[in-house]
Structure 1
Amino acid sequence: MKRLHKNLGLSRRAFVGVFLSGSILSKAVAQAQKRRIAWVTSKTSTADASRVEPFRAALLAKGWTEGKNIDILWSFAGDKNDDIDAAIEEAISQKPDVIVAETTGIIVKLKRLKEKSAIVSLSAGSLEGADLIDSINKPGRNVTGNQMLSADLIFKRAELIKELLPNATAMVFLEPLTPAALMQRSYVDTAALAAERYGLKFKKLSVRNPDEIEELYRMLSADRSQVVLVPSNPLTVNNAKSIVNSSIRHQIISIYEIIAFVKVGGLISYGPNRDKFPLVAADYVDRILHGVSPGDLPIYQSSDYEMALNMNTARELGVQIPHNILARALEIID
């Protein structure tokens, strides 16, 4: 050490000063290189843990460690009195490199705010239907990620109605009219086509708040040959038990998108396996942080569908579940 400062013509004090300055500069450079990710969902932090932990673990496996080379802002609207706007504003205020957004409605809000960061969908309904991408194979803009809905899935649900209730006359689509639960026109149009293919009338009934759900089922109870399709979004998921209770109370069969409804008494769910969604989101975030444009990453659509049944509810509704449906069920609650 002594020889080094002598050769450089530096005093010990000057050398220490240069050394410390270099250390501070290195830390500043490292801090500047740290990437920012924002996670925006409608859920509470507790309810979202089943997606947060796999996402975090997948990033870690790819070399991204919180506090070291990435910072993640976890913005849960459920922890902010369900104020999705507050969650979005909190996220974009951090100027993230990538935003992981739960729903189509959240992404639409981000786009209206002219957000230019890369956006990765966690579980959006239909990105294409909301005109957020150019195409499934080449999104072409700053949005990519998971998409839950496909024409194939909507037609399969219509087919399931006829299998479950051969004398069904109508498919009723429950459309939540809330900012975070945007229902795209293409979704509704495809559902109408699916109903027509299977000889069902198509009805669309809109709800703006939880109080309208009971009235909707009471109105439908005059004709039990109608089957309700209940989509998965903040309004329906947060009021799953109320929807299920209304369905049973008024003896109306409902088909749900996710197993969470069946676990609180819903008759049947049929939808994509969501376990891969956080992993796909992490993979896309990793690629984007390594320089890949989100517009070049094809939309992920799961072809792995799963069905769950609640036999207690089937008995309450007086529904005889056909053997071919029982054989396809991944989970049966009895």
Structure 2
Amino acid sequence: MKRREFIAGTAAILVSPRRSGAQGTPRRIGFLGAWADEPARDPAHAAWLRGLREKGWIEGKNLLVEYRYARDRLPALAAELIALAPDLLIASGPAAALALKSATATIPIVFVAVFDPVGLGLVRSLSHPGGNITGLATTAGVAVAKQIEILRELVPGASKVAILVNPDNPMHRLALAEEIPRTARELGVALPIVEATKAEELNSAFASASAQHAMAIIVLGDYLTVFESPRVIALAAEHQLPAIHLFRQFAKDGLVVYGPDLADIWRRAGSYLDKILKGTKPADLPVEQPTKLELVINMKTAKALGLTVPPSLLARADDVIE
């Protein structure tokens, strides 16, 4: 090799992005979601990006994100992401978390917005997750029994409360097998189940609840209802069904919300990503739970439904929308 060519080649290696300490190599992560939609439509996506920026990670600069979304192709999409050899995997929701956990035992996984990761078998315990997976849960005492208690304060004597579930959501299947039947027995209340796995099935789900003479409805947390929240709220109003929701975004026009701040959970996910990309093992990061549950009541919606909100419930509310 000629001396000039050798010098030029050595210089190219020294200043290449892979070797340059000044520029660094962008880290690559895979993002798997159970809902086939664009990230920009996800109401929590902006909060996640904000959490990343707070830790110095900028998508498109020092962080490359490969997104995959689908309801019925999660195992195949999980395999696609793993084939890219990412530094870390993000699982949005329980179905995506299960798909990634089944696909790799080596690449670090952070799940976000999983109601009961222990019950689902994702981790051994909240304090010692074990393996290559940890994350942020939405569980913190948000039980069906508590939601019924709140609804019964709004609708005294409610003996039949419908529950809207998505059978494709593994957390909903777990609740159907254990929590819901137990709650019905303990409280002596009828809990008819209405189902929707896609947007076009929401109409028939609410019509079924109305036909079964439900006096109120519990909308379980799910990406279908989150993305279709305006439609869910409109259907509850159309069928005159007082509804309780899990996430704050329903509070603007819905009746009552009791649950964690989903946007805050996604913002805090940035901290987990930051720690793992800097060398912390998922097994050493306890699963984080919400630090606060919010009770939000919309008085305008209550009035439209002909409901009187008792002072005791108003006194416990974190926010009252007039």
AA of the residue aligned to 1:206: E
Q: Structure 1 residues 304, 44: CA separation in 2 closer, same or farther (over 3 Å shift)?
A: same
* Residue in 2 that maps onto 1:315: 303
Partners of 2:243 and 2:127 in 1: CA distance:
33
What is the Cα deviation at residue 32 of structure 1? 8.4
2:84 aligned partner, one-letter code: Q
The answer to whether residue 218 in structure 2 is matched with residue 250 in structure 1 is no
Query: Is the contact made by 1:230 and 1:254 (CA closer than 8 Å) also made in structure 2?
Result: yes
Equivalent position amino acid for 2:103 in 1: L
Partner of 2:312: helix, strand, or coil?
helix
Alpha-carbon offset, residue 269 of structure 1: 1.4
Q: What's the secondary structure of 2:156's corresponding residue?
A: coil
Larger CA deviation: 146-155 vs 254-263 = 146-155
Tell me the secondary structure at the aligned position of residue 244 of structure 2: strand
Residues 101-120 of structure 1: pairs in structure 2 closer than 5 A: 101-114=91-104, 116-120=106-110
1:145-164 Cα distance to aligned partner (Å, 9 max, x none): 11113445444223212222
Percent identity over paired residues: 28
* 1:304 paired to 2:297: no
For the pair 1:177 / 2:167, whether they are aligned, the reply is yes
The CA deviation string for residues 71-101 of structure 1, in whole angstroms up to 9 with x for no partner, is 233x263xx8x77648656543432111122
**Does the alignment pair 1:208 with 2:194?**
no
| 1:17 alignment counterpart | 8
Give the equivalent residue in structure 2 for 1:156. Answer: 146
Q: Which residue of 1 aligns with 2:126?
A: 136
How far off is 1:63 after superposition? Answer: 4.1
CA distance in 2, matches of 1:22, 1:211: 56
Match of 2:31 among 35, 39, 62: 39
Q: State the Cα distance separating 1:275 from its structure 2 match.
A: 3.5
Determine helix, strand or coil for the equivalent of 1:46.
helix
- What TM-score, normalized by structure 1, do the two folds share? 0.80
Who is 1:291 aligned against?
A: 279
Of structures 1 and 2, the larger Rg is shown by 1
Do the aligned residues in 2 keep the contact of 1:36 with 1:71 (CA within 8 Å)?
Answer: yes
Report deviation, 1:52: 3.8
Please tell me whether the aligned partners of residues 248 and 262 of structure 2 are also in contact (alpha carbons under 8 angstroms): no
2:167 is the alignment partner of 1:167? no
**What are the ranges of 5 or more consecutive residues in structure 1 without an aligned counterpart?**
1-10
Equivalent residue pairs, number: 315
TM-score of the two chains, using structure 2 as the length reference: 0.82
Match of 1:327 among 299, 315, 319: 315
Distance change >3 Å, CA 197–CA 163, structure 1 → 2: farther
1-structure distance, mates of 2:54, 2:250: 32
Q: Which residue of 2 aligns with 1:71?
A: 64
- Shift of the 64–214 alpha-carbon distance from structure 1 to 2, 3 Å rule, reads closer
Q: Secondary structure at the match of 2:41?
A: coil
The answer to whether the 8 Å contact 1:129/1:184 transfers is no
C-alpha RMSD over aligned residues: 3.1
State the match for 2:256 in structure 1.
Answer: 268
Q: State the match for 1:4 in structure 2.
A: none
Mapped to 2, the partners of 1:261 and 1:173 lie a distance apart of 16
Amino acid at match of 1:47: R
Structure 2: runs of 5+ lacking an equivalent: none
Farther off after superposition, 279-288 or 15-24 = 15-24
- After superposition, the C-alpha distances for 1:2-51 in whole angstroms (9 at most, x for unaligned) are xxxxxxxxx98368436524424x53335885421223333423223x54
Change over 3 Å in CA distance of 1:323–1:225 after alignment to 2:
farther
Q: 1:162·1:198 contact (CA, 8 Å) conserved in 2? A: no
Classify 1:316/1:38 alpha carbon distance in 2 versus 1 (closer, same or farther; 3 Å). same
Map Cα deviations across residues 87-131 of structure 1 (whole Å, 9 max, x no partner).
Answer: 656543432111122110111222343464211112122222221
Query: SS of the residue aligned with 1:232?
Result: coil
Structure 1 position 305, deviation (Å): 0.9
Corresponding letter in the other structure for 2:132: N
Q: CA offset at residue 245 of structure 1?
A: 2.6
1:143-195 per-position Cα deviation (integer Å, ceiling 9, x unaligned): 211111344544422321222222011333221123xx333554332244344
Shift of 1:214: 2.6
Greater RCO, 1 or 2 (C-alpha within 8 Å, sep 6+): 2
Name the CA shift for 1:184/1:53 in 2 (closer, same or farther; >3 Å): closer
2:11 corresponds to which letter in structure 1? L
Matched, 1:229 2:218: yes
Q: Offset of 1:310 from its aligned partner?
A: 2.6
SS in 2 for 1:111: helix
